[in-house]
């Protein structure tokens, strides 16, 4: 499902500290005894050492909450006497992960008893997709590439701060359960970012609109304080704000068709992977594959949204067979994400009746 680029979405995300934030660096042998016990993770960027939020750390938080949302909706649908719009239950990737089946490693051809190759038994991407839960279909598993990826998030500069992501060391101590006073040998120090913002990107490739809507819902929950980031959450750390700042869309013009335009006459249109495969000029094989994928999701036919785009809010660039749209107006970006989330929630409500 990744052999041909059909559509892509890159969402610019800004995360702002509303209090102390700790993304803990890996434990290493202490060289300087004056350093805090828990230090904020750092990396080199633009010739200097800086704090940052690794994309892998953020993806883990986003996936965990997305699984929680999907599992909640799944249980609600079953309690209401309906069924969720997917056939494979939401897995727990740590204890009970999705296991679509084993495929031979690349470069190793399996052989049968007579020594002949059995490449036709290799697990296809569609088979792995059909045997995975919606969370794995979005974030991936050991046998299926994820459609959603995150960049590293670096400090935002140029907003009036001399030191945009200043850190401070906070000292704590363990309390004796007998004396109710400070316990000996229990002093610890935590380095935390206390102000500033981080900026990065979330990237979706060959995506359905419900996957963009799921990402939108998680960003909203982080911003509302329902999801905390980093460590020491029980000590008041991890409260942040999150917002989508820009949106970039890429379409394969062959998938769109000659007369179909995502931006024209003050309207912005978004198509999911299923509808592009069905309506595009990809041949019978591509259209049939998209039907199978939609059937696997048991998703409603709608994988398209359309909304008003005031003049000057969308920049269009054509690069060979690709059409790129850049939405820099934050209000329009939020409306697009809200509409995608609305598609997801409406579909879930319809199937839970």
Torsion on CA atoms 10, 62, 346, 325, rounded to nearest 10: 0
Q: In the chain, which residues have pLDDT < 50?
A: 103-121, 278-298, 301
Prediction pTM value: 0.82
E strand or H helix that includes residue 167: strand 167-175
What pLDDT score was predicted for residue 30? 60
What pLDDT score was predicted for residue 195? 85
- C-beta separation of 239 from 290 below 8 A: no
pLDDT digits (tens, 9 = 90+) for 193-247: 988 899 999 999 988 888 999 999 999 999 999 999 988 888 889 899 999 999 9
Q: Which of 278, 274, 272, 279 minimizes the C-alpha distance to 257? A: 279
- C-beta separation of 154 from 50 below 8 A: yes
What pLDDT score was predicted for residue 25? 86
């Amino acid at each position: 499902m990744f052999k041909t680029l059909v559509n892509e979405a890159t969402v610019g995300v800004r995360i702002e500290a509303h209090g102390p934030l700790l993304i803990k660096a890996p434990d290493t042998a202490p060289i300087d005894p004056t350093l805090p016990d828990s230090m904020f993770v750092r990396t080199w960027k633009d010739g200097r050492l800086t704090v940052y939020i690794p994309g892998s750390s953020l993806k883990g938080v986003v996936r965990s909450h997305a699984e929680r949302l999907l599992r909640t909706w799944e249980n609600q649908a079953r309690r209401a006497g309906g069924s969720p719009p997917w056939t494979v239950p939401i897995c727990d990737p740590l204890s009970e992960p999705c296991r679509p089946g084993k495929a031979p490693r690349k470069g190793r051809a399996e052989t049968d008893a007579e020594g002949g190759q059995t490449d036709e038994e290799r697990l296809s991407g569609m088979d792995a997709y059909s045997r995975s839960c919606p969370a794995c279909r979005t974030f991936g598993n050991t046998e299926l590439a994820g459609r959603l990826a995150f960049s590293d998030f670096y400090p935002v500069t140029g907003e009036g701060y001399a030191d945009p992501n200043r850190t401070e060391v906070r000292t704590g101590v363990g309390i004796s359960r007998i004396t109710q006073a400070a316990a000996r040998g229990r002093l610890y120090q935590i380095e935390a970012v206390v102000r500033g913002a981080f900026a990065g990107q979330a990237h979706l490739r060959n995506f359905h609109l419900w996957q963009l809507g799921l990402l939108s819902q998680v960003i909203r929950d982080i911003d509302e304080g329902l999801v905390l980031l980093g460590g020491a959450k029980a000590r008041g750390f991890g409260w942040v704000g999150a917002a989508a700042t820009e949106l970039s869309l890429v379409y394969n013009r062959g998938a769109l068709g000659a007369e179909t335009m995502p931006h024209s006459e003050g309207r912005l249109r978004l198509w999911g992977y299923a509808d592009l495969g069905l309506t595009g000029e990809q041949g019978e094989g591509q259209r049939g594959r998209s039907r199978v994928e939609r059937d696997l999701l048991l998703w409603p036919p709608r994988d398209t949204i359309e909304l008003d785009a005031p003049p000057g809010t969308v920049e269009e660039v054509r690069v060979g067979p690709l059409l790129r749209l850049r939405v820099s107006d934050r209000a329009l970006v939020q409306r697009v994400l809200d509409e995608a989330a609305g598609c997801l929630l409406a579909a879930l409500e319809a199937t839970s009746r």
